Amino acid sequence: MDELRNATQDLYLEVERAADKLHVDDQHQELKKLKKQSQASDFWSDTESAQSIMKKIGALEAKLEPWLYLRSELNELNDMIALEDESMQSELSSTLDDCVSRYASLKLQLRFTGPYDHHNVVLSIHAGAGGTDAQDWAQMLLRMYVRWAESAEMKVTTVDESAGEEAGIKSVTLEIHGPDAYGRLKGEHGVHRLVRLSPFNSDNLRQTSFAKVEVMPEIDAPDEVDINEKDLKIDVYRSGGHGGQSVNTTDSAVRVTHLPTGIVVAIQNERSQLQNKETAMIILRSRLAQLQLEQHAEKIGDLKGPNEQAAWGNQIRSYVLHPYKQVKDLRTEYLSQDPDDVLGGNLDPFIDAYLEYALGK
């Protein structure tokens, strides 16, 4: 019994440390407060606010209940062990094994303790140096991320896309919705480099191409990133593109410029000017939130403009298809010798390696 008692107490202390890091008690108090609000007689008089609160309640319950149950189970196990009933030792050992297994699964949440880790993602890909090869590379990356998201049962929506002249894409912006989407994808933010034999020149020479991937937490609640209206310049213009009866007939496209940082977001995906403006504001808030994380700024007013040139040189991963085959992350040193598998969407080993690397920083 002594060995069982010590193992149970050790696990309880480890669970408490993890719960403290995840602010389980604070969030439990917040959950109680939100539930009390939801019981008010006039709660549904403001439908939008009520739906937002119910969404928060659901998310908090899903996150906290496994931790609260595990803590309760360990307390009960401690009480049972204190009875010193040797006939129950086998059953109690089995209960402890179950608790150990559930904790091993739950503690993966420790990787997602950033302020936006549980948010959905706005992901943009921009072709860099390398001409048509770079635009083709950008499209290869698009396919990789879409396949990864689909395998993770996440929802992918294309917000905006600009096709290349000969092949590939100049840029694309996606929304990716799923559990811990930003926490899982944030390590993909940076410049991705491809080395291969070019399919776009007659000499079939080796070509190095670059594409920049921006991973931003989706901020759809205005109060999460407070933007002063005076800092915005909003222009409307006619949508461009191929076909469609409404194209070039109304000023539905919207360009929003954040004057202090110089960030520009242009959206022409929807037929409604209002919808395009709302989408542009979500992406602007998302970019500002990402910039705030990068610059460790307390307030949006403290932000400087993004240093595009410096960021462009911030290469994080190399994909080599010739003269040998490998994908190497330059931060974690994680290496795969099957680039086809990686480009087919198997990013989890790279994501896990980055999360472990980030925990140790």
Q: β-strands 190-197, 315-320: how paired?
A: parallel
Q: Are residues 145 and 273 in the same domain?
A: yes
Q: Check residue 179 and give its pLDDT.
A: 86
Query: Distances from the Cα of 196 to the Cαs of 8, 131, 133, 142, 345, in angstroms?
Result: 55, 14, 10, 18, 19
Q: Are residues 174 and 197 in the same domain?
A: yes
List the domain range (segments joined by +) for residue 264. 117-361
Closest by Cα among 204, 202, 149, 158 to 179? 149
Q: Are residues 149 and 274 in the same domain?
A: yes
The answer to which of 256-270, 291-305, 345-359 has the lowest mean pLDDT is: 291-305
From 65, 82, 111, the end of a domain falls on 111
Q: Are residues 297 and 206 in the same domain?
A: yes
CATH number at residue 10: 1.20.58.410
CB of 344 closer than 8 Å to CB of 218: no
Helix pair angle (47-82, 2-21), 10° resolution: 160
pLDDT at 154 over 70: yes
Q: Are residues 138 and 285 in the same domain?
A: yes
Q: Are residues 156 and 68 in the same domain?
A: no
Q: Are residues 102 and 47 in the same domain?
A: yes
Taking residues 308-317, what's their average pLDDT? 65
From 91, 111, 131, the end of a domain falls on 111
Q: Check residue 340 and give its pLDDT.
A: 96
pLDDT at 129 over 60: yes
Band of residue 304 on the pLDDT scale cut at 50, 70, 90: low
pLDDT in tens, 313-331: 678 999 999 999 999 999 9
From 111, 127, 152, the end of a domain falls on 111
Taking residues 75-86, what's their average pLDDT? 90
Q: Are residues 168 and 247 in the same domain?
A: yes
- Copy the structure tokens of residue 92: 């109690």
Band of residue 138 on the pLDDT scale cut at 50, 70, 90: very high
For tokens 């490998």, name the residue. Answer: 326
For tokens 């019981």, name the residue. Answer: 39
Band of residue 249 on the pLDDT scale cut at 50, 70, 90: low
Taking residues 17-37, what's their average pLDDT? 92
How many of the other CB atoms lie within 10 Å of CB of 195? Answer: 16
- Copy the structure tokens of residue 180: 């811990």
Q: Are residues 75 and 146 in the same domain?
A: no
Distance separating alpha carbons of residues 223 and 102, to the nearest angstrom? 36
Distance separating alpha carbons of residues 125 and 139, to the nearest angstrom? 8
Q: Are residues 156 and 210 in the same domain?
A: yes
Q: State in Å, rounded, how far the first CA of the chain is from the last one.
A: 40
pLDDT at 293 over 80: yes
pLDDT at 243 over 50: no
Bridge partners for 294 per DSSP: none
Based on the structure, what is the number of domains in the chain?
Answer: 2
pLDDT at 246 over 60: no
Q: Are residues 179 and 324 in the same domain?
A: yes
pLDDT at 286 over 50: yes
Using DSSP's 3-state secondary structure scheme, residue 305 falls into coil
Q: Are residues 198 and 319 in the same domain?
A: yes
Band of residue 197 on the pLDDT scale cut at 50, 70, 90: very high
